[in-house]
Amino acid sequence: MSDLQREIDQRAVEGHLPCATVFAIAEEFNLPLNQVVDAVNGADVRIIHCQLGLFGYQAFGGKRFVGSLAQIPDPLADLLHAGCVHEALPCATAWAIADREGLPRPVVGSAADVLGIRIAPCQLGCF
Protein backbone atom coordinates (compact mmCIF):
# COMPACT_ATOMS: atom_id res chain seq x y z
CA MET A 1 0.00 0.00 0.00
CA SER A 2 1.37 3.41 -0.96
CA ASP A 3 1.78 6.29 1.48
CA LEU A 4 -0.96 8.14 -0.41
CA GLN A 5 -3.38 5.23 -0.10
CA ARG A 6 -2.55 4.86 3.58
CA GLU A 7 -3.23 8.58 4.15
CA ILE A 8 -6.59 8.35 2.39
CA ASP A 9 -7.54 5.31 4.45
CA GLN A 10 -6.51 7.03 7.70
CA ARG A 11 -8.43 10.24 6.96
CA ALA A 12 -11.58 8.65 5.57
CA VAL A 13 -14.43 8.33 8.04
CA GLU A 14 -16.95 5.60 7.26
CA GLY A 15 -15.86 5.61 3.62
CA HIS A 16 -16.14 9.39 3.22
CA LEU A 17 -13.57 12.13 2.74
CA PRO A 18 -14.38 15.87 2.72
CA CYS A 19 -13.52 17.91 -0.36
CA ALA A 20 -11.14 20.10 1.69
CA THR A 21 -9.28 17.02 2.88
CA VAL A 22 -8.70 15.85 -0.70
CA PHE A 23 -7.17 19.25 -1.51
CA ALA A 24 -5.06 19.12 1.68
CA ILE A 25 -3.71 15.67 0.84
CA ALA A 26 -2.76 16.81 -2.67
CA GLU A 27 -0.90 19.77 -1.20
CA GLU A 28 0.79 17.77 1.57
CA PHE A 29 1.97 15.09 -0.85
CA ASN A 30 2.79 17.67 -3.55
CA LEU A 31 0.72 15.70 -6.07
CA PRO A 32 -1.60 16.77 -8.86
CA LEU A 33 -5.18 16.87 -7.65
CA ASN A 34 -6.35 14.35 -10.26
CA GLN A 35 -3.84 11.79 -8.97
CA VAL A 36 -5.24 12.09 -5.45
CA VAL A 37 -8.82 11.90 -6.76
CA ASP A 38 -7.93 8.72 -8.67
CA ALA A 39 -6.53 7.22 -5.47
CA VAL A 40 -9.65 8.24 -3.53
CA ASN A 41 -11.86 6.65 -6.16
CA GLY A 42 -9.67 3.54 -6.18
CA ALA A 43 -10.09 3.25 -2.42
CA ASP A 44 -13.88 3.22 -2.85
CA VAL A 45 -14.13 6.39 -0.78
CA ARG A 46 -16.83 8.98 -1.51
CA ILE A 47 -16.06 12.69 -1.48
CA ILE A 48 -18.40 14.76 0.72
CA HIS A 49 -18.80 18.32 2.01
CA CYS A 50 -18.30 20.27 -1.21
CA GLN A 51 -16.68 23.58 -0.31
CA LEU A 52 -19.28 25.43 -2.38
CA GLY A 53 -22.04 23.62 -0.48
CA LEU A 54 -23.33 21.73 -3.49
CA PHE A 55 -23.19 18.10 -2.37
CA GLY A 56 -22.37 15.66 0.41
CA TYR A 57 -24.33 17.02 3.37
CA GLN A 58 -26.81 14.14 3.87
CA ALA A 59 -25.73 13.73 7.49
CA PHE A 60 -27.04 17.26 8.09
CA GLY A 61 -30.46 16.59 6.62
CA GLY A 62 -30.02 17.34 2.94
CA LYS A 63 -27.81 16.70 -0.03
CA ARG A 64 -26.83 20.35 -0.33
CA PHE A 65 -25.65 23.01 2.07
CA VAL A 66 -26.43 25.96 -0.19
CA GLY A 67 -29.22 28.17 1.03
CA SER A 68 -31.47 30.65 -0.61
CA LEU A 69 -30.07 34.13 -0.34
CA ALA A 70 -32.63 36.92 -0.23
CA GLN A 71 -30.63 39.13 -2.57
CA ILE A 72 -27.54 38.82 -4.74
CA PRO A 73 -25.63 42.09 -5.09
CA ASP A 74 -25.34 43.13 -8.73
CA PRO A 75 -21.51 43.16 -8.72
CA LEU A 76 -21.41 39.54 -7.51
CA ALA A 77 -24.08 38.49 -10.00
CA ASP A 78 -22.09 40.15 -12.78
CA LEU A 79 -18.90 38.33 -11.74
CA LEU A 80 -20.68 34.97 -11.64
CA HIS A 81 -22.28 35.46 -15.05
CA ALA A 82 -18.99 36.70 -16.53
CA GLY A 83 -17.18 33.63 -15.21
CA CYS A 84 -19.45 31.20 -17.02
CA VAL A 85 -18.07 28.98 -19.75
CA HIS A 86 -20.61 27.23 -21.97
CA GLU A 87 -23.46 28.28 -19.63
CA ALA A 88 -21.79 26.88 -16.49
CA LEU A 89 -19.47 28.36 -13.87
CA PRO A 90 -16.35 26.24 -13.31
CA CYS A 91 -15.79 25.33 -9.68
CA ALA A 92 -12.26 26.81 -9.82
CA THR A 93 -13.69 30.11 -11.06
CA ALA A 94 -16.27 30.15 -8.26
CA TRP A 95 -13.45 29.63 -5.75
CA ALA A 96 -11.41 32.42 -7.34
CA ILE A 97 -14.36 34.80 -7.16
CA ALA A 98 -14.96 33.91 -3.51
CA ASP A 99 -11.30 34.43 -2.65
CA ARG A 100 -10.98 37.68 -4.61
CA GLU A 101 -14.18 39.12 -3.13
CA GLY A 102 -13.45 37.92 0.41
CA LEU A 103 -16.57 35.76 0.53
CA PRO A 104 -17.03 32.30 2.00
CA ARG A 105 -17.22 29.73 -0.77
CA PRO A 106 -20.72 28.52 0.23
CA VAL A 107 -21.99 32.09 -0.25
CA VAL A 108 -20.76 32.04 -3.83
CA GLY A 109 -22.28 28.58 -4.33
CA SER A 110 -25.58 29.83 -2.93
CA ALA A 111 -25.50 32.96 -5.08
CA ALA A 112 -24.91 30.88 -8.21
CA ASP A 113 -27.76 28.58 -7.20
CA VAL A 114 -30.17 31.50 -6.71
CA LEU A 115 -29.15 32.94 -10.08
CA GLY A 116 -29.75 29.58 -11.75
CA ILE A 117 -26.09 29.22 -12.67
CA ARG A 118 -24.90 25.63 -12.79
CA ILE A 119 -21.43 24.95 -11.34
CA ALA A 120 -19.41 22.63 -13.58
CA PRO A 121 -16.94 21.15 -13.85
CA CYS A 122 -16.05 20.24 -10.29
CA GLN A 123 -12.30 20.40 -9.60
CA LEU A 124 -12.52 16.88 -8.16
CA GLY A 125 -14.57 15.48 -11.02
CA CYS A 126 -17.63 14.85 -8.83
CA PHE A 127 -19.86 16.57 -11.40
User: Does residue 55 fall inside a structural domain?
Assistant: no
* pLDDT tens-digit readout, 71-108: 999 999 999 999 999 999 999 999 999 999 999 999 99
pLDDT score, position 1: 76
94 near 84, Cβ under 8 Å?
A: no
User: Does residue 61 fall inside a structural domain?
Assistant: no
How many domains, the chain? 2
Q: Output the CA angle 32-109-57, nearest 5 degrees.
A: 80
Q: How far apart are the first and last CA of the chain?
A: 28
Q: In the structure, what pLDDT confidence band is assigned to residue 68 with cuts at 50, 70 and 90?
A: confident
User: Does residue 64 fall inside a structural domain?
Assistant: no
User: Does residue 54 fall inside a structural domain?
Assistant: no
124 near 47, Cβ under 8 Å?
A: yes
Are 41 and 7 found together in one domain? yes
Question: Above 90 in pLDDT, residue 62?
Answer: no
pLDDT score, position 46: 96
CA 65 to CA 50: how far, in whole Å?
A: 9
Burial (Cβ within 10 Å: 0-12, 13-18, ≥19) of residue 3: exposed
pLDDT score, position 65: 84
User: Does residue 62 fall inside a structural domain?
Assistant: no
41 near 16, Cβ under 8 Å?
A: no
Residue closest to 29 by CA, chosen among 1, 6, 52:
6
43: Cα separation from own chain's centroid: 20
pLDDT score, position 67: 82
User: Does residue 68 fall inside a structural domain?
Assistant: no
Residue span of the structural domain in which 106 resides? 74-119
- What mean pLDDT comes out for the span 57-71? 88
- What mean pLDDT comes out for the span 120-127? 95
Residue closest to 65 by CA, chosen among 46, 52, 77:
52
User: Does residue 95 fall inside a structural domain?
Assistant: yes
User: Does residue 10 fall inside a structural domain?
Assistant: yes
Residue closest to 55 by CA, chosen among 26, 22, 18:
18
* pLDDT tens-digit readout, 30-58: 999 999 999 999 999 999 999 999 999 99
